[in-house]
Structure 1
Amino acid sequence: MIVNTSFVFCLSILYQRTWSRCLVTNKANVTYGLELNDNRRQLTHHNIVVFLSLNLSSQLLSHSHSLSGKAETELPLKVRGMDDQSVTRVVLLACGSFNPITNMHLRMFELARDHLEDTGQYRVVKGIISPVGDGYKKKGLIESCHRLEMARLSTENSDWITVDSWEGLQPDWVETAKVIRHHYDKLLAAEQSNDDVDTVKYAKKRRIEENSEKSSHCTRRDGPQLMLLCGADVLESFGVPNLWKQEDIAEIVGRYGLVCITRSGSDPHKFIHKSDMLWKYRKNIHVVHEWVTNEISATHVRQSLRRGRSVRYLLPDGVVNFIREHGLYSAESEEKNADVVLAPLQRYSDASSS
């Protein structure tokens, strides 16, 4: 029987696109299989498909076993799925009091990054912590200069999580939607700056390599996506009257996206189902389940500090030392803003009554 060589060639091209390494190792085996079946005069198109499929599966399995003992940084990009142009770069932004910042706040970034990258659709390139300003007027909120410094101390050993002081240094409370816009504009500006540099390098290289007409064409890369990172309590606060503007919720979730970390006793999926606004943009909300329950609360930490109890291992060591050195979180500091209405409630209540 005559073998349809074009059919075999098409199959080889198909597998080469899937995994070029496996094709190289398969060539000898395929040839051997063809000769063996040809000797027996039993070769058909179906035999070839079955043989190639089985052999490819065997090669993939053995290759995965050989990689299992290596560190993730040693994995080929093809295996990790990070070389695909369709992968979206993501910057995670966490806004809040951070009064004080705890290990759980930092843990949220790691959980979110693992969840997003496990989908194969995202690559998290940066995390930003943005402590709220003093104008928020929350009870027990100490000065932003201290909260910013504690946040910096907690991230000094991180190679991807940073602290931004813009929001914390504003004299008045800034709505979260405006904070997100601010950081998104910064990302776009940085991308534009990088594109301008790349354009100059590209044009210079073209002039050196080709003494011809200048080319003004430059392929623009897709910019990173900014997502708000929060706990389930923040998501559920969207339902508190006069705490959020509906148009801000629509902008945050609809335009940017949200990554929500679950907490014990919360049910983000149920809350999303109840809210028409969140249900509309449910595909932009990534709910991350924390299987290792960690109920570190900044409120409970402050309580322990007021009572002279140890908070070690609840906070980064640098933060614990900073609190001790500056005598932060006393009974007096907890009463700060006790008689003041929270800034968003005051602003939106006044707006609705006028």
Structure 2
Amino acid sequence: MYLENKNIVLLATGSFNPPTNMHFRMFEIARDHLNRLGYTVCGGLVSPVHDSYKKKDLVASTHRCAMLELALTTLPWVKMSNWEVRQNKWTCTRQVLQYHQNYLNSVINSRLNGTNNEKFLLPVQFLKDIITNKSKTNRAINVRLLCGADLLESFAVPGLWDDDDIETIVRDYGLVVISRSGSNPNKFIYESDILTKYMANIIIVTEWISNEISSTKIRRALCRNDSVKFLLNESVESYIKDQGLYGTDNK
């Protein structure tokens, strides 16, 4: 099954603990590449993981959402969704994609049919062009999972992913994978029967400007009182220190 819809909304899931400049750089890299391929990138979404996700040093979602809101003021075409963190428990990635694709298309259909109401909580300004552009025969959008090559490779970790979930994600939504120079995601796709079957729905984007920023390294730097300038949005750095997150309250 090949996903023919050219109207794309990029969705990135993860801890964002804290959100780094590289998290948002991925959106810019992906949009440039997809535009060159003839896609229309309508917008982007970040969906922070639920507090019940078992990960070391994960701060409360109230803090992670606040940091994302601050950081995204400099990237207005990308919005934060707090749907995942508002659930009663951790939600698998397939369900996150499913919810947001159904949700956004219901917004489009509601606006087009003149039945708009105010129940929609997620900022959807980026759908305006699709709704108002009368020349579009297909106004539906395809939510694609934006991720790094490390997530793609995690599909092979025993017990981490359900095979049915992997197949559904790649078949029904598709991936946009940001890969670094020197990595070989195509080899990994070749070694996976599921990914090879739906490889037409996997778009590989190479980041040629090397950047090794990670949330783990930034948490370590913050704990040691080392500078994180130019690694985080300045307002995010201020928030972390004001709230005493990641060990900064001990400084």
Fold shared by both chains (TM-score > 0.5): yes
Shift of 1:143: 0.6
* Helix, strand or coil at the partner of 1:269: helix
Taking the TM superposition and a 5 Å limit, the aligned residue runs for 1:79-158 are 88-120=6-38, 122-158=39-75
Structure 2, unaligned runs of 5 or more: 116-135
Corresponding residue for residue 89 of structure 2: 172
Amino acid at match of 1:295: E
Taking the TM superposition and a 5 Å limit, the aligned residue runs for 1:19-38 are none
**From 153, 161, 173, the counterpart of 1:256:** 173
Amino acid at match of 1:142: V
Matched, 1:238 2:151: no
* Helix, strand or coil at the partner of 2:180: coil
Inter-partner Cα distance in structure 1 for 2:82 and 2:209: 31
* Helix, strand or coil at the partner of 2:11: strand
Asked whether the equivalents of residues 263 and 295 of structure 1 are also in contact (C-alpha less than 8 Å), the reply is: no
* Cα root mean square deviation, aligned: 1.9
Shift of 1:248: 0.6
The CA deviation string for residues 99-134 of structure 1, in whole angstroms up to 9 with x for no partner, is 1100000000000001111012x1101100000011
Asked whether the equivalents of residues 10 and 44 of structure 2 are also in contact (C-alpha less than 8 Å), the reply is: yes
**From 189, 212, 227, the counterpart of 1:310:** 227
Amino acid at match of 1:101: P
Matched, 1:319 2:250: no
Shift of 1:265: 5.4
* Helix, strand or coil at the partner of 1:262: strand
Asked whether the equivalents of residues 91 and 227 of structure 1 are also in contact (C-alpha less than 8 Å), the reply is: yes
Inter-partner Cα distance in structure 1 for 2:149 and 2:40: 23
Inter-partner Cα distance in structure 1 for 2:144 and 2:104: 12
Shift of 1:242: 1.0
Corresponding residue for residue 228 of structure 1: 145
Amino acid at match of 1:95: T
Structure richer in strand, relative to its length: 2
Amino acid at match of 1:117: N
Asked whether the equivalents of residues 260 and 288 of structure 1 are also in contact (C-alpha less than 8 Å), the reply is: yes
Asked whether the equivalents of residues 20 and 232 of structure 2 are also in contact (C-alpha less than 8 Å), the reply is: yes
Matched, 1:328 2:245: yes
Matched, 1:197 2:197: no
Corresponding residue for residue 187 of structure 2: 270
Inter-partner Cα distance in structure 2 for 1:91 and 1:119: 15
Corresponding residue for residue 121 of structure 2: none
Asked whether the equivalents of residues 134 and 171 of structure 1 are also in contact (C-alpha less than 8 Å), the reply is: no
Say which one has the larger Rg: 1
* Helix, strand or coil at the partner of 1:329: helix
Corresponding residue for residue 197 of structure 2: 280
Asked whether the equivalents of residues 180 and 208 of structure 2 are also in contact (C-alpha less than 8 Å), the reply is: no
Shift of 1:153: 0.5
**From 41, 65, 79, the counterpart of 1:162:** 79
Q: Which has the higher contact order (CA 8 A, sep 6+)?
A: 2
